Amino acid sequence: MKKGFEDILNICLDRISEKGDSIEQCLRDYPEHAAELEPLLRAAISVSEASSTISPPPEFQRLAKYRFLSALHEKGPQKGERRVGRLLKWQRGWAIALAVVLALFLTGAGTVTASASSLPGDTLYPVKTATEKVQGFFTFGSEAKAGHYMKLAERRLNEIEALARQDRTIPQSVLDVLNEDTEQALELLIKHKPAGKGLIIRLLAVTANQKSVLERVMEQVPPQAKLKLKEALTRSEQAHGRASLLEEIYPEMEKFKENKSVPWHKSGNFFNAEPSES
């Protein structure tokens, strides 16, 4: 079928934009249309080149990306399940915490001290986690709580490494708590505007360490255990990515703290992931 001029024009435009052909190459293939084609192709290229000089301001781009990734994280499909799971664990945790307080009255602090080196599956492990919950209850302020969650995440990571070393099964619940504590710390740093930079850097170190330890553990465990470790690793990497963005936008957050103008966002709320009504 004979091609019409519109088709030929479009073929040339696609060749130029997709294959990087020159105008001259195209004109050579369609000499009978060259006179008409050339000015149209040049007009199209001029628009394309002019628009390539437009780019979003880098500080806006960074903040927008951060807000978008936060919204994506909020809307994650497993979010609802995680909340319910966390709530159930929280209730169960508090029942155990109450038992710990009672146990302290009855047996003294020795049991709690002995539980510190226990691993998941050990008899004293519930005492260890319940003690942590009591400590969390008496930790006040977003920054201190974020630090507490990071410390817990570090402990869970040590436990995972120890279990792998002893060829013991790594329970899914420990991997979940590792990720949840890390994410809790991150959320607290986000909500606390701005968190101290030291804490952000610590979280970056915590998540980077998670990556290297989980990768190492993955090599030690049997194949059927690799998948759950891979999932935990992915969540750790995501938390690391979000912490990196947080570090990147730290100077803007400082400006925000000082009430400097933030022309790229009218609401003045850096962490407002909801689209404003137009």
Partner 1 sequence: MRDEENIARRLQNREPEVWTGVYEEYFPKVYRYILVRVSNRTEAEDLTEQVFLKALESVDSFKWRGIPFSAWLFRIAHNQVIDFWRTVKSKVSLPLTDELVSEDVDPETTVERNLDVKQVFQALGQLTQSQREVIELRFIGGLSVAEAAKVLRKSEGAVRVMQHSALAALRKRLSSGEEHEKGL
- Contact region for partner 1 (CB under 8 A) — 153-161, 165-173, 209-217, 263-271? 263-271
Options 14, 81, 215, 254; binder of partner 1; rule CB under 8 A:
14
Options 104, 208, 221, 273; binder of partner 1; rule CB under 8 A:
273
Contact present, 186 and 242 (Cβ < 8 Å): yes
Q: What is the rounded distance in angstroms from the CA atom of residue 36 to the CA atom of residue 30? A: 10
Check residue 202 and report its DSSP letter: H
Rg over alpha carbons for the chain, rounded to the nearest Å, is: 28
- Contact region for partner 1 (CB under 8 A) — 58-66, 85-93, 116-124, 195-203? 58-66
- Contact region for partner 1 (CB under 8 A) — 11-19, 157-165, 170-178, 187-195? 11-19
Triad 123, 128, 130: Cα angle to 5°: 110
Options 25, 68, 121, 169; binder of partner 1; rule CB under 8 A:
68
Q: Considering beta carbons, is residue 17 or 113 the nearer one to partner 1?
A: 17
2 binds partner 1 (CB under 8 A): no
Q: Considering beta carbons, is residue 76 or 268 the nearer one to partner 1?
A: 76
Q: Considering beta carbons, is residue 46 or 113 the nearer one to partner 1?
A: 46
278 binds partner 1 (CB under 8 A): yes
**# residues contacting partner 1 (CB under 8 A):** 48
Min CB(89)–partner 1 separation in Å: 23
Which tokens is 224 given?
Answer: 């059927």
The residue written with tokens 């399940």 in the block is 81
Check residue 31 and report its DSSP letter: G
Triad 149, 185, 130: Cα angle to 5°: 25
Q: Is 135 left (phi over 0), alpha (psi -120 to 50) or beta?
A: alpha
Which tokens is 70 given?
Answer: 């936060």
Min CB(193)–partner 1 separation in Å: 19
Q: What is the rounded distance in angstroms from the CA atom of residue 178 to the CA atom of residue 169? A: 16
Q: Considering beta carbons, is residue 27 or 45 the nearer one to partner 1?
A: 45
Q: Which amino acid is at 252?
A: E
Q: Is 121 left (phi over 0), alpha (psi -120 to 50) or beta?
A: left
Residues 198 to 257: which contact partner 1 by CB under 8 A?
A: 238
13 binds partner 1 (CB under 8 A): yes
Triad 75, 79, 80: Cα angle to 5°: 110
What is residue 2's three-state secondary structure? coil
Min CB(127)–partner 1 separation in Å: 37
Options 27, 34, 69, 208; binder of partner 1; rule CB under 8 A:
69
Site of interaction with partner 1 (CB under 8 A): 5-7, 9-10, 13-14, 17, 39-40, 42-51, 53-57, 60-61, 64-65, 67-69, 71-73, 75-77, 238, 263-266, 273-276, 278
